[in-house]
Copies of this chain bind each other. A is one copy, B any other.
Amino acid sequence: MSKTSHANAQAGAALQARPFAPIVQRLRQAGLRPTRQRLCLARLLFEPGDRHVTAEQLHSEANAARVEVSLATIYNTLHQFTEAGLLREVVIEPGRSYFDTNVTNHHHFFLEEDGALMDIPGEHIALAQLPEPPAGLKVSRVDVVVRVTRGK
Task: Report the Cα distance A131→B147, complex, angstroms.
Answer: 12
28 contacts between A and B (CB under 8 A): A91-B91, A91-B92, A91-B93, A94-B95, A94-B97, A109-B134, A109-B137, A111-B137, A112-B140, A118-B134, A120-B131, A125-B128, A125-B129, A125-B131, A126-B129, A130-B146, A131-B146, A137-B149, A137-B150, A138-B148, A138-B149, A138-B150, A139-B147, A139-B148, A142-B144, A142-B147, A143-B145, A144-B144
When C-beta atoms are compared, the residue in chain B nearest to A97 turns out to be B94
The answer to whether B128 touches A127, judged by C-beta atoms less than 8 angstroms apart, is yes
A144 → B minimal CB distance (Å)? 5
A→B interface (CB under 8 Å): 89, 91-97, 109, 111-112, 118, 120, 124-131, 133-134, 136-150, 152
Using Cβ atoms and an 8 Å threshold, which residues of chain B touch A139? 146-148
The answer to whether A141 touches B137, judged by C-beta atoms less than 8 angstroms apart, is no
A141 → B minimal CB distance (Å)? 5
The answer to whether A145 touches B148, judged by C-beta atoms less than 8 angstroms apart, is no
